Amino acid sequence: MNILLLGNGGREHALAWKMAQSPKCTQLFIAPGNAGTSSCGTNIAINPTDFKNIRDFVLKNDIQMVIVGPEAPLVEGIYDYFKNDEQLNSINVVGPSTEGAKLEGSKAYAKKFMADRNIPTAGYQEFTIDNLSEGLDYIKSQTPPIVLKADGLAAGKGVLICQSIEEAQSEFKKMLEGKFGNAGSRVVIEEFLDGIEFSVFVITDGKAYKILPIAKDYKRIGEGDSGLNTGGMGAVSPVPFVDQAIMEKVETRIIKPTIAEIQKRNIEYKGFIFLGLIMVNNDPFVIEYNCRMGDPETEVVIPRLQNDLVEIFQALDNDSLQNINIKIDERAATTIMLVSGGYPEAYEKGKVIRGVSAIEDSIVFHAGTKAEGDQIITNGGRVIAVTSYGQNFREALKTSNKNAQLIDFEGKYYRTDIGFDL
């Protein structure tokens, strides 16, 4: 079978790496991919939201399966685009329909979805410019910290945690006045939850579901979780404090009701659900839904999955996911992200990356990289994820840390304290 994977990050390199191992995979194409994905298949220069060009490519290359890595094409409706096209509708698109992608694409939609099933999440209200003054009054009635969320996709920047009423009111106004463009034309104001976060990944065909390895990512740029938010600086799997009792609560209170609500609403959903969770007094709450895998969590989740990933994806299309037995590597996996100097603010690209080929005991997943002649150069803020296995996360991290030192490019930065809070 010929497969097309959309995206160009570390997540996509990990997915490509895994799918390329499947005997079911004949040809793998990655659009647009990076310098790492080209060792798993063929990169093609198509943007993941350019549906027309994707359509032409899929038809010309007899693609039978399309895996959607990032959220943008899902929220923009790639699943429905395929299903509404006579020539494309038999192709297996891994990812939710446009309606399902609203779980990530609209925070207000997700909050209502959870409220309808009593899925535990922070209390909230939503506002637009039409009830701005009510919003300001609502903020005044709250105790800081106050969480403001732009309703739509805002490149990971749409969540603000405000430490005072004045700050929250001022930011709330800025959001409604266009700070995040259209994404902020509706704002969710949410209760602040205090606790430790972790991520649960579920794959579903809309009826059955399977739970993939649990992970925890580290979003802040600085050691000890300080400084600006990033796409993610590292991850570990499994998460030591997430025991069976917690997972039972997650399954009964969150996963089962989520799948039940998807069914009740007749949402077509054949793909990943990423639950961003937080433990408050030993009870799990949903911080957010995403309609795709996490990055860099994929770089630790997928290496621990022992199944044939292509077979799992086929089962989504055949409605036979219930027959799949998920097998998970007992070992821990960790990843450390090497980033460009200056990230997540302004940074330079085009720095030559050295030392990758000398790494033997880690898996090097490329994120923002590009081949130039016979060199590999930096091409993004997050550059390379160094994934290692170990008997426990500390042992795995030792290897990731050692190899993070060996890969080099001008301005390289990484956190040496991933897992510090575990």
- Pick what 288 binds: ligand AMP, ligand GLY, none; C-beta below 5 to 8 Å, kind-dependent: ligand AMP
Task: Give which of 78, 112, 118, 70 is closest to 98, Cα–Cα.
Answer: 78
As given in the structure block, the two tokens for residue 350 are 């085009």
Interface stretch with ligand AMP, choices 35-43, 172-180, 188-196, 338-346 (CB under 6 A): 188-196
Enumerate binding residues for ligand GLY (CB under 6 A). Answer: 217, 232, 290, 294-295, 297
d(C-alpha 393, C-alpha 110), whole Å = 33
User: How crowded is the C-beta side of 129, counted as CA atoms within 13 Å?
Assistant: 11
Give the contacts of 392 (CB within 8 A, at least 6 positions apart). Answer: 332
Query: For tokens 């077979």, what's the residue?
Result: 311
Determine the interface stretch with ligand AMP among 43-51, 154-162, 220-228, 237-245 (rule: CB under 6 A). 154-162
Contact status: 138 vs ligand AMP (CB under 6 A): no
CB of 37 to ligand AMP, least distance (A): 25
Q: How far apart are CA 204 and CA 97, in angstroms?
A: 13
* CA distance to 8, 21, 35, 65, 109, per residue, from 44 (Å): 11, 20, 12, 16, 34
Of these partners, ligand GLY, ligand AMP, none, which one is at the site of residue 63 (CB under 5 to 8 Å by kind)?
none
Six-digit token string for 93: 């698109």
200 binds, among ligand GLY, ligand AMP, none (CB under 5 to 8 A by kind): none
Determine if 288 is a binding residue for ligand AMP (CB under 6 A). Answer: yes
Based on the shown chain and the rule CB under 6 A, indicate whether residue 293 belongs to the binding site for ligand AMP: no
Alpha-carbon gap, residue 275 to 286, rounded angstroms: 7
Determine which residue in the list 63, 103, 122, 267 makes contact with ligand AMP, applying CB under 6 A. 122
Contact 385, 333 (CB under 8 A): no
* Nearer to ligand GLY among residue 151 and residue 295 (C-beta): 295
Decide: is 196 part of the binding site for ligand AMP (CB under 6 A).
no
Tell me the closest approach of the beta carbon of residue 281 to ligand AMP, in angstroms.
14
Judged by beta carbon, residue 92 or residue 121, the one nearer ligand AMP is 121
Residue 351 DSSP code = P
Please, what is the minimum distance in Å from the beta carbon of residue 217 to ligand GLY?
4
In 192-329, DSSP assigns E strands to 196-204, 209-211, 216-217, 220-222, 226-229, 234-237, 269-280, 283-290
Give the residue carrying structure tokens 């309606």: 99
Residue 116, number of CB atoms within 10 A of its CB: 12
Q: Does 159 bind ligand AMP (CB under 6 A)?
A: yes
Select the binding partner of residue 302 from ligand AMP, ligand GLY, none (C-beta < 5 to 8 A, by kind).
none
**Chain centroid to CA 419: how far?**
19
For ligand AMP, which stretch binds (CB under 6 A), given 36-44, 68-76, 168-176, 190-198?
A: 190-198
Among 40, 63, 108, 193, binds ligand AMP (CB under 6 A): 193
Q: Which does 138 bind (CB under 5 to 8 A by kind): ligand AMP, ligand GLY, none?
A: none
Q: 136 or 159: whose CB is closer to ligand AMP?
A: 159
Nearby residues of 420 by Cβ (< 8 Å), 6 or more positions away: 223, 224
Whether the Cβ atoms of residue 326 and residue 305 lie closer than 8 Å to each other: yes
110 binds, among ligand AMP, ligand GLY, none (CB under 5 to 8 A by kind): none
Report what 190 binds from ligand GLY, ligand AMP, none; CB cut-off 5-8 Å by kind: ligand AMP
Cα 354 to the chain's mean position, in Å? 28
The item of ligand GLY, ligand AMP, none sharing an interface with residue 297, based on CB under 5 to 8 Å by kind, is ligand GLY
State the residues that interact with ligand AMP by CB under 6 A: 122, 147, 156, 159, 161, 190, 192-193, 197, 219, 276, 287-288
